[in-house]
Chains A and B, each alone.
Chain A
Amino acid sequence: KAGVTQTPRYLIKTRGQQVTLSCSPISGHRSVSWYQQTPGQGLQFLFEYFSETQRNKGNFPGRFSGRQFSNSRSEMNVSTLELGDSALYLCASSLSWTGNNSPLHFGNGTRLTVT
């Protein structure tokens, strides 16, 4: 079974631009969660989608948004990029929503650098 696939692997953007990251979950998984990983802040929860609905959202500004499609694939968007948005963005999929004690399976992330 193929794992979680995130594209692209690396991205360089300029301050003020916007970016879209893509995540394909493991086949059959209906939940997709997004995390931001930085050396100083660790893994910070962005949001979770289950059956195309946002179930939960972390403490990030409205510039961070996401969506999930009917095939469970998900995208996250960051608008008006800031230098502090430079991070590894991780997507994780699970069979059910995380409140159901469902393990997360992570992709290898998209490394975003904002200059």
Chain B
Amino acid sequence: GDSVTQMEGPVTLSEEAFLTINCTYTATGYPSLFWYVQYPGEGLQLLLKATKADDKGSNKGFEATYRKETTSFHLEKGSVQVSDSAVYFCALSDGSGYSTLTFGKGTMLLVSP
């Protein structure tokens, strides 16, 4: 079945550092890929998504590119802020409206001033 693997955390960075959180997936066909963010005490929010190969999703300074050849969807940000501290989840769906989401286990990001 489908699966998502993301790097274990926590990832600890200083403010303004460069961020990469790795995410790879296993799926048949052409899944849609997502990054969700969970701030402390809150539910998950969609951060960005990509629906086909080579698409780049971006939002709030975060970016991720759908790489079918390496089955990856790594999350990057050029300069993190303390307010980016959260748990980040990579997820996929099979691209149909009826499909469910398969999540990675989440990566906690801690940014210090």
Specify whether A and B are partners. Answer: no
Mark A residues whose CB is within 8 Å of B. none
Mark B residues whose CB is within 8 Å of A. none
